[in-house]
């Protein structure tokens, strides 16, 4: 396991697929007679193998972006392209990890992970190998026969990550995957996620509330604001992985992003009122 981490933390040229392009994406919800702009003019291109973090206040639509990219919701305007092909529905080339692990409580860890191959034609021996490989990958060896209620929150989330990795997705979407965990488990799993990212070499997008987490993992941090949900700023993080949380640049970026978020939050209420008033004309 030890030398699975790439020595210089550079992505190899092997994975040139997994480019996600979001072009003038709009999404509205209808609230009785009003239209609420959940996402307004989102433009974002994510390179193959890149790790992009998205931070923003509640209600800025950051999780909605992931739901659209994974294909659980196809009610939007604009284009979402993966390697140039538009996304129409779910596909095993896009994986997702939710904040709640969403393991089936009646299945063991093994069965839950194997469920990701439910629509695959692989011979069962091969499926077995893939499942056990992924159990190893998230360090859950020995817990294959445990039921979700027997796992800690961190272990359940690791099982959910393994399930998402089984199909070797080109892009892995992480919707606040560590949001429900305690601080220590979070730190540990952040390092685990980084190790998996380096090993797995897929594109990853993570939505989080935690600015430090966003900076620790992301090549770029997308800062969003709410009402309507839009991108405020994209912050490149020019630091080598694995990152030193105590470096001056890390701190400066963290302060900047936090300032952005606080600024957004204080005006959010006023904007919400304004946006509702404007949109009501459309109804």
Partner 1 sequence: MNAISTAKKLPIPADALGLLAVPLAMLALWVLVTRAQWVPEQLLVSPTKVIEAVGELWEAGELQGHLQNSLRRLFLGFFSGAIFGLIFGVLMGLFKSMEDYCAPLFNAFRQIPSIAFIPMLILIFGIDETFKIIIVAKAAFFPVALGGYDSVRGIPKNYFEVAKVYQCPLWPLIKQVVIPATVPQILTGLRLSLSRSWMVLVAAELMAADSGIGQMMEWGRQMFRMDIVVVGVFITGLIGFALDYGFKWLESRMARWKMG
Cβ proximity to partner 1: between 74 and 77 the closer is 74
Cβ proximity to partner 1: between 18 and 169 the closer is 169
| Minimum CB–partner distance for residue 89 and partner 1 (Å) | 8
CB 56 within 8 A of CB 225: yes
β-bridge mates for residue 206, sequence order: 53, 174
Site map 60..79 versus partner 1, x via CB under 8 A: ----------xxx-------
Sheet containing 220-225: give its strands across. Answer: 94-97, 171-175, 203-207, 51-55, 220-225, 230-236
Rounded CA separation 236/44 (Å): 13
Cβ proximity to partner 1: between 9 and 29 the closer is 29
Binding segment toward partner 1, per CB under 8 A, in 22-30, 111-119, 179-187, 214-222? 111-119
Residue 155 engages partner 1 in binding (rule: CB under 8 A): no
Rounded CA separation 63/266 (Å): 21
Q: Distance of alpha carbon 15 from its chain centroid, rounded? A: 19
Cβ proximity to partner 1: between 9 and 104 the closer is 104
Residues 30 to 49: which contact partner 1 by CB under 8 A?
none
Residue 149 engages partner 1 in binding (rule: CB under 8 A): yes
Residue 188 engages partner 1 in binding (rule: CB under 8 A): no
Cβ proximity to partner 1: between 14 and 149 the closer is 149
Cβ proximity to partner 1: between 71 and 179 the closer is 71
Rounded CA separation 19/50 (Å): 9
The radius of gyration computed from the CA coordinates of the chain, to the nearest angstrom, equals: 19
| Minimum CB–partner distance for residue 70 and partner 1 (Å) | 6
CB 218 within 8 A of CB 52: yes
Residue 105 engages partner 1 in binding (rule: CB under 8 A): yes
CB 81 within 8 A of CB 88: no
Among 98, 110, 143, 216, binds partner 1 (CB under 8 A): 98
Q: Where are the alpha helices (DSSP H) in the chain?
A: 62-70, 109-114, 124-137, 153-165, 183-200, 211-217, 248-279
Residue 180 engages partner 1 in binding (rule: CB under 8 A): no
Contacts with partner 1, residue ranges (CB under 8 A): 70-72, 90-92, 95-96, 98, 100, 102, 104-107, 115-119, 147-149, 167
């Amino acid at each position: 396991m030890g030398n699975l981490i790439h020595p210089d933390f550079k992505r190899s040229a092997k994975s040139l697929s997994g480019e996600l392009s979001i072009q003038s994406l709009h999404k509205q919800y209808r609230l009785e007679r009003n239209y609420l702009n959940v996402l307004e003019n989102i433009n974002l291109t994510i390179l193959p193998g890149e790790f992009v973090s998205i931070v923003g206040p509640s209600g800025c639509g950051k999780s909605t972006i992931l739901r659209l990219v994974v294909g659980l919701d196809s009610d939007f305007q604009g284009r979402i392209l993966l390697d140039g092909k538009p996304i129409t529905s779910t596909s095993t080339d896009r994986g997702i990890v939710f904040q709640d692990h969403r393991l089936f409580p009646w299945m063991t860890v093994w069965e839950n992970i194997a469920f990701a191959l439910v629509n695959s034609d692989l011979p069962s021996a091969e499926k077995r190998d893939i499942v056990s490989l992924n159990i190893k990958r998230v360090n859950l060896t020995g817990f294959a026969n445990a039921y979700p209620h027997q796992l800690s929150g961190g272990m359940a989330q690791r099982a959910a990550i393994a399930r998402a990795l089984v199909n070797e997705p080109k892009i892995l979407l992480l919707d606040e995957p560590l949001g429900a965990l305690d601080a220590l488990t979070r730190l540990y799993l952040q390092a685990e996620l980084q190790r998996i990212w380096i090993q797995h070499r897929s594109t990853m997008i993570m939505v989080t509330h935690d600015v430090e987490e966003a900076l620790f993992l992301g090549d770029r941090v997308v800062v969003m604001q709410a009402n309507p949900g839009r991108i405020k700023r994209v912050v490149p993080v020019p630091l080598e992985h694995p990152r030193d949380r105590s470096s001056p640049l890390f701190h400066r970026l963290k302060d900047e992003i936090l300032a952005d978020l606080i600024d957004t939050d204080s005006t959010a209420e006023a904007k919400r009122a304004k946006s509702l008033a404007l949109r009501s004309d459309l109804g």
